[in-house]
Structure 1
Amino acid sequence: MKKNWIAVFGITLLLASCSQPQRENIDFEEWGKYWFQGQAEISSFDLTQYRYGEPREGEAVLIFVTEDFSRKNQVKLDDPEASKKDKVSVLKMNQTRNFNTGIYPYNMMLSAFTPTKENSRGLKFTASSQEWCGHTFTQVNLKKGENYSGQIFSYFESEGDHSFSFSGLAEDDLWNLIRINPNEIPLGGVQVFPSLIYQRLSHQEMKSEEAFIRIQDISTQRRQLELTYGSGKRTLRIDFEKEFPFQIMGWEELETKEDGKQEITKAVRKGLKMLDYWKKNKLEDAFLREELKLK
């Protein structure tokens, strides 16, 4: 029954997207057995997040799941079957980071939506940050002409409610591209828009920068994506398994400050489960947090 459902889904996806350029060299029949089974992949990480010049111990979670998305409105569809050509399959990543700075907590979340079969850059990225001083929200959408348009809503006067635009590759798209197929990632010199989480913590100007991307083997079973910005001030490394489904095992962000001090934010995987978490909302389901080693 499951195999028949996957086959029907694949045919439907192909018909709906036949007018769009397709990703090549990907076995979507095999890909769909993992990603189109009606469950999400949830992985938990021990997090060391640098903030205000000091390392903070916390926790991060990555949630990857496929869903039907609206091309026009760039939101999850309520009734995919009625949407016809407006429907596009995406891989969604939700990334959460939770840590404390002294007495008060930070709760951060990043979402990225990238077409699965269609050869397109990420359609939408959002990030939110809540802490005792206030909260902020940033949203970026891919517009016609291959340019991105974004808005930030912040409690800081200098940021206010601000609009911006940029072209190039969004750093936050790299996580989904790894999971779809690392071969989809452009290598070498690339114009990159830094992560919304990094920009939230650094308050950097919303603009893309010259960067260099490479992927290399780091063991017999793992590879590493390395993104280095031309300024030399920041490097992102993401470790992932060599074989499909290219599970992410950890990452680190190296930032060199003006005084030469290097701050290293690091995450190491500690738990993994495939499940339909949106149905696991009863008190009796709380044991699943223990299986994921969540605090």
Structure 2
Amino acid sequence: MKQAVQKNFLLVVLILAVGFAFAMKVTIFQKPATTPQPTLTPLSAEFTAYWLGGKAEVNTYKLEQARNGVLNPGQATLIFMTEDFLPDKQVTSTTETTRANAIPVLKTNISKTFNAGVSDYALVTSVFTPINNSLFPNTLKVSTSEQSWAGQSYLQINYRNNAYQVSGKSYVESEVEESYEVPKLMLEDELWNRIRLNPDKLPTGEIQLIPGSMAARLRHQRLDPLAAKLTLTNYEGVLYPGKGLKAYTIQYPTDNRTLVLIFEGLFPHKIVGWEETYKSKDNLLTSRAVLEKTIQFEATR
């Protein structure tokens, strides 16, 4: 028997291997188990022509911004464009070698410049939201910078490990080096992009929301989630330009702050202005931006 096994060793090994393969269901004669995979959401021809044609949309607004207990005149700019974004490094792809690993995102740049007394302020927020919501449902990155005569500060939010990692630097002692985590929830900062992508899917009702980074930075607050009430209605006023306008209202009852985004109901859902109400030095003030001009130009890096 021992001699027979030795002479036919390879045959015995082969028989055992085939038997094991059948037992584990990995032979070429069996269908492999399949796991349903998310599919790409088809983009409309209208959306593709407007957003994927290599152009950026630049909107300029007349601004009144609350600071130091008064409303200060200034200018705001909203720039929207699509980019190839690397979800692992969370930066824009700029080379052909990395572009294969990139995903398309809609990027918002929100900037405000205004003078408050003896100090000039410049604030910029950038938001990177994947276009394909079924594959990448979460906004991947937000960054906000603030510059004034008092100093500079920077705040960044990154989606990693199923949560948002917040890091910051500032000239203010209490914010000199920030590093903390907040749960994976909707970001107020991404709602601007969500309006442009598909306002029909905007969240409504009572939810937990991560507040806007620019307002948090101006008020020296952390980005801890807050209870919010969100409503979408027709805009009934006459202050903002455009037809078929919608008003998207975000209320924070525990923070006594309200943000209203006014936009066109028809594609491409241009944002024609906004109002933001909160206390500034014990005065309840409403900052306001009203659209003055929209242009498109070839996007370059």
Report the secondary structure of 1:68's partner residue. strand
CA distances 1:127-184 after superposition (whole Å, capped 9, x unpaired): 0011111100000011132x11110101111111111211211100000000001123
Question: For the Cα contact (< 8 Å) 1:121–1:173, is it kept in 2?
Answer: no
In the alignment, which residue of structure 2 is the partner of 1:105?
120
**Pairing of 1:1-295 with structure 2 (within 5 A):** 20=38, 22-23=40-41, 27-80=43-96, 82-84=98-100, 86-119=101-134, 120-145=137-162, 147-167=163-183, 168-219=185-236, 221-231=244-254, 233-256=256-279, 259=282, 261-276=283-298, 278=300
CA distances 1:92-117 after superposition (whole Å, capped 9, x unpaired): 00011000112221011000000012
CA distances 1:221-258 after superposition (whole Å, capped 9, x unpaired): 11010000131500100000000100000000011468
The amino acid of 1:144's aligned partner reads: N
In 1: Cα distance, 2:232 partner to 2:225 partner: 21
The amino acid of 2:214's aligned partner reads: I
Question: For the Cα contact (< 8 Å) 1:153–1:160, is it kept in 2?
Answer: yes
In 2: Cα distance, 1:80 partner to 1:53 partner: 50
CA drift at 1:206? 2.6
Question: For the Cα contact (< 8 Å) 2:68–2:281, is it kept in 1?
Answer: no
Moved more, 200-209 or 44-53: 200-209
Report the secondary structure of 2:174's partner residue. coil
Question: For the Cα contact (< 8 Å) 2:84–2:99, is it kept in 1?
Answer: no
CA drift at 1:82? 4.3
CA distances 1:67-89 after superposition (whole Å, capped 9, x unpaired): 000010110001256442x3110
The amino acid of 1:210's aligned partner reads: A
Identity of aligned residues (%): 32
In 2: Cα distance, 1:121 partner to 1:245 partner: 22
TM-score, scaled to structure 1? 0.82
The amino acid of 1:148's aligned partner reads: Y
Distance 1:21 1:140, change over 3 A: farther
In 2: Cα distance, 1:234 partner to 1:99 partner: 21
Distance 1:89 1:27, change over 3 A: closer
The amino acid of 1:226's aligned partner reads: T
In 1: Cα distance, 2:280 partner to 2:122 partner: 24
In the alignment, which residue of structure 1 is the partner of 2:239?
none
The amino acid of 1:100's aligned partner reads: N
Distance 1:273 1:195, change over 3 A: same
Task: Extract unaligned runs of 5+ from structure 2.
Answer: 1-35, 237-242
Task: Extract unaligned runs of 5+ from structure 1.
Answer: 1-17, 280-295
Q: CA RMSD in A?
A: 1.9
The amino acid of 2:235's aligned partner reads: I
Report the secondary structure of 1:158's partner residue. helix
In 1: Cα distance, 2:182 partner to 2:284 partner: 28
